[in-house]
Structure 1
Amino acid sequence: MSSRTGSSDLLIDGALRRGRAGEFPTVNPATGETLGTAADADAADLDDAIGAARRAFDDTGWSRDTAFRAQCLRQLSEVLQAHGDELREVTVAEAGVPVALTHGPQLDVPVADLSWFAGLAESYDWSTDLGTASPMGVPSRRTIHREATGVVGAITPWNFPHQITFAKLGPALAAGNTVVLKPAPDTPWCAASVGRLIAEETDIPPGVVNIVTSSEHSLGSSLVEDPRVDLVSFTGSTATGRSVMTVAAQTLKKVFLELGGKSAYVVLDDADLGAACGMAAFTVCTHAGQGCALTTRLLVPRERYDEAVEKTAAALSGIRVGDPANPRTLCGPLISARQRDRVEGYLALATEEGGKIVCGGGRPAGFEQGFYVEPTLISGLTNDSRVAREEIFGPVLVILPHDGDDDAVRIANDSPYGLSGTVHGGDLDRARAVTARLRTGTVSVNGGVWYAVDAPFGGYKQSGIGREMGVAGFEEYLETKLVAEPA
């Protein structure tokens, strides 16, 4: 990979520059080898970035020029598409993303989606006339104005480095905000490559987008606590989300949190069991299970439990771990040795809790280099086990029995999370009735796809606060102002 493809500079106030803390390595999870280095920002770099974003919001017309913002977003989408092959190479190498997924939600789709946010900004009703009334006897004409919140601190994870970045940048910029982006230390090149293209090939003004890569997670906390930041948009673990919320409370800033999940795939007794088990296996292996909304608990009718275990194990065993650069690969490596250790710790815990590893459970043969784990099915546990309740973030599926629709709903909802879910049944009305009782932000019924730029995404309970994408996600980045004038 060329150094040009693997961009490594910070983007601060429109300029590309090195980090004051030097450089830190970025690693290829498929091989365990170092790809190169990325700029390592320190507190002073972050201070510069926040200051630049504050000035760009306060002292320029960016927040008020809707047409220009829409033009810049469309231009950014076009530039990113023109450099799609470079970005694809970086994403596969640095995030271990199977290349086939970069033609969908990992790159091409979210890049194109930036234009949707441009169109939304142009068509949005920024002002609403409430008409004339006489509160306390004073004739007044009231107007509701929606306007940008201000400086957004965006903190993103490594598992979907482009999709999540653009799901924040798109609506934040369309709404008129300025942004300081702090990407995960595991995927600095993915973010820095976007920063280079913004600086060199778009008309986005200096300070509107700032990208600060760093090896230090503590820099994210500094971004959250800074009083110059008006809103924090965070995607990551629930544990870190709690910390973000605590720190943000000190300055009472708005917080959007998209957090973890332990989503249930509910199979009803009138469903095609083989099709359901096959789809559940496919889903949990996508990007090696490193997706917060993937269904990782498979709930099947008790009377068909053994059959479901057999069919699911057969499906999982047929999914081969592979090199992410291979177009046929679905299940690539985990992001790091640390994450592989975490997943393997849960596999050991599963047997300690009385579970059985039906298939998988180890490192695949022929992949001594890199951070791979076999697609794994765990049976014999109950929903109160840690392995069935905690987010593992690997290609690991726990299969649980249920005793009918009511019991399935109870088990699915018996979770601290509520991000996603699936219902699979023969009778659509019955499947809809089960869906209506699930306490979760998104549900797929019989294979329906909920992911789209115009569809809000987010969760209930400890899966987060607020929504990303769609009009609801756009409005997370707005404030509401009421203006009253004499009638």
Structure 2
Amino acid sequence: MSLLTADSSQLLIGGELRPGGGGTFETVNPATEEVLGQAPDADSADLDAAIGAARTAFDDTDWSRDHAFRAHCLRQLRTALQADAEALREITIAEVGAPLMLTRGPQLEGPVDDLEYAAGLAESYAWETDLGTASPMGIKSSRVLRREAIGVVGAITPWNFPHQINFAKLGPALAAGNTVVLKPAPDTPWCATSVGAIIAEHTDIPPGVVNIITSSAHEIGSALTSDPRVDMISFTGSTATGRAVMTNAAATLKKTFLELGGKSAFVILDDADIAAAAGFAAFSVCVHAGQGCALTTRLLVPRAAYEQAIEAAAATMGGIRPGDPTKPGTICGPLISSAQRARVEHYLSLARAEGGRIVVGGGRPAGLDRGFFIEPTLIADLDNGATAAREEIFGPVLVVIPHDGDDDAIRIANDSPYGLSGSVWGTDPARIDHVTSRIRTGTLGVNGGIWYSADAPFGGYKQSGNGREMGVAGFEEYLETKLIATAG
């Protein structure tokens, strides 16, 4: 397999690879602004066919009941993806602008490896539980609790970590016995169509179980969320779009899993190593140009150590230069598009207008005339009510905010419509426990602890979404509960 071309990028519908009814649309390298090639542009007829194929595969085959076969297919897919890892890596770097180093982890190899976890759950999960005998209303009854697949899942995914999020939905949804219609972001279509080709050509996954449609039209995603043949929508993206997904899904009362935005707080307590913690925060927000919903983009520091933290963060961010994602040492690649760069630049303008001090960065890097790059940027002298401190920017931008003690840090951290992630740094276990138990967020790292793992559930509080992805909790999002009571 080599880097995809217009001729080889196709939709996967009902087990067949085929062109899009709407023609094609361009996919662009964000590091060079060069057109990589064409992706199939699905139309409403393609979507109808994909949903119909998924519905038929669920209703008319034993896919949902054959746990061992599903585990086999997932392992087969994992092996086939690993065999094509270098081609997939090339596609991912070119289309996503993902730094090479990240493809060794969450941008490719990690999510592929995690399919084994999903396969294992298909085999080991307790699909049936004996609840024993009871006599409600005087009728002796033996009760069995069964967990079953929901049905047809519509999976809608973003562009920032396409393989991670595609497989975090495909893996557990398929392991649970569902069929899937996957619609990836139009910015990264090849990352999905390449997987579709591998499924069709190198696995025993039955026709219609996985359908992959790429489209430049937002109406396709909207139609997927409202179609009555779809039993569940699993969506990752912005909070604004998540609201629209929930509204569309409400007409048929289908289940929605939403993993949405974040504006997570990195809390440094006054007994921490201020410089080390601030440097860690600054580094993390530069990875993949800050294009991660769970990145900690608000740095909350003790007021007495405010300038010290700014100095340490500035030294780290000032030393990270955006660059070519194909080079092994690159940490901060490009933003995904010119539109995303314009969005980040808009927020930087707002920060200046609201009184923010740009300590480092704040513009396009010198010497990079092509590509959608932005400098790692540190903003000081804004309070938590400023726009840059409240809204998700999705760029390598860190806002430093002073706090007046542990409880004040908790207050500021929670003063946000979001609650996706966070970090706490300190040395006193009791104080750390006090802070972590009161911050309302779905995941927290302590002193650099990493919460990301196939067996660890991920998701948010408040407007960061509902439900969990990955882990047993993420797997169970794709299941229904059935109780069977037999008299006698």
Q: Using structure 2 for the length normalisation, give the TM-score.
A: 0.99
2:122 is aligned with 1:132: no
**Aligned CA-pair RMSD:** 0.9
**Equivalent AA in structure 2 for residue 28 of structure 1:** N
Cα gap change, 1:239/1:125 in structure 2, threshold over 3 Å: closer, same or farther? same
| Partner in structure 1 of residue 237 of structure 2 | 236
Residue 5 of structure 1 and its aligned partner are, at CA, apart by 10
2:141 is aligned with 1:155: no
Residue pair 2:6, 2:37 contacting (<8 A) in 1 also: no
**Equivalent AA in structure 2 for residue 60 of structure 1:** T
| Partner in structure 2 of residue 304 of structure 1 | 305
Superposed counterparts of 1:240-255, under 5 Å: 240-255=241-256
Residue 6 of structure 1 and its aligned partner are, at CA, apart by 8.9
2:237 is aligned with 1:260: no
Q: Distance in 2 between matches of 1:258 and 1:477?
A: 14
Q: Distance in 2 between matches of 1:389 and 1:157?
A: 21
**Equivalent AA in structure 1 for residue 287 of structure 2:** T
Q: Percent identity?
A: 72
Stretches of structure 2 that go unaligned for 5 or more consecutive residues are none
Three-state SS of the structure 2 residue aligned to 1:62 is coil
Three-state SS of the structure 2 residue aligned to 1:63 is coil
| Partner in structure 2 of residue 195 of structure 1 | 196
Cα gap change, 1:430/1:5 in structure 2, threshold over 3 Å: closer, same or farther? farther
Residue 2 of structure 1 and its aligned partner are, at CA, apart by 3.9
Q: Distance in 2 between matches of 1:71 and 1:315?
A: 46
Residue 239 of structure 1 and its aligned partner are, at CA, apart by 0.1
Three-state SS of the structure 1 residue aligned to 2:358 is strand
Cα gap change, 1:121/1:5 in structure 2, threshold over 3 Å: closer, same or farther? farther
| Partner in structure 1 of residue 40 of structure 2 | 39
| Partner in structure 1 of residue 101 of structure 2 | 100
Residue pair 1:6, 1:193 contacting (<8 A) in 2 also: no
**Equivalent AA in structure 2 for residue 281 of structure 1:** A
Three-state SS of the structure 1 residue aligned to 2:113 is helix
Residue deviations 1:174-204 (CA, integer Å, cap 9, x gap):
0000000000000000000000000001000
**Equivalent AA in structure 2 for residue 40 of structure 1:** D
Cα gap change, 1:357/1:446 in structure 2, threshold over 3 Å: closer, same or farther? same
Q: Distance in 1 between matches of 2:459 and 2:312?
A: 31
Q: Distance in 2 between matches of 1:9 and 1:439?
A: 43
2:189 is aligned with 1:172: no
Q: Distance in 1 between matches of 2:64 and 2:166?
A: 20
**Equivalent AA in structure 2 for residue 272 of structure 1:** D
Q: Distance in 1 between matches of 2:392 and 2:249?
A: 24
**Count of matched residue pairs:** 487
Q: Distance in 2 between matches of 1:72 and 1:226?
A: 28
Residue 320 of structure 1 and its aligned partner are, at CA, apart by 1.3
| Partner in structure 2 of residue 30 of structure 1 | 31
Q: Distance in 2 between matches of 1:200 and 1:206?
A: 11
**Equivalent AA in structure 1 for residue 465 of structure 2:** G
Residue pair 2:181, 2:211 contacting (<8 A) in 1 also: yes
Three-state SS of the structure 1 residue aligned to 2:325 is coil
Q: Distance in 2 between matches of 1:27 and 1:84?
A: 21
2:440 is aligned with 1:453: no
Residue 217 of structure 1 and its aligned partner are, at CA, apart by 1.3
Q: Distance in 2 between matches of 1:258 and 1:277?
A: 27
Q: Distance in 2 between matches of 1:307 and 1:324?
A: 31
2:356 is aligned with 1:355: yes
Regions of 4+ moved over 3 Å: 1-7
Residue 4 of structure 1 and its aligned partner are, at CA, apart by 5.4
Residue pair 2:287, 2:331 contacting (<8 A) in 1 also: yes
Residue pair 1:5, 1:90 contacting (<8 A) in 2 also: no
Q: Distance in 1 between matches of 2:46 and 2:401?
A: 49
Three-state SS of the structure 1 residue aligned to 2:154 is strand
Residue deviations 1:115-136 (CA, integer Å, cap 9, x gap):
1111111110001111110111
| Partner in structure 1 of residue 271 of structure 2 | 270
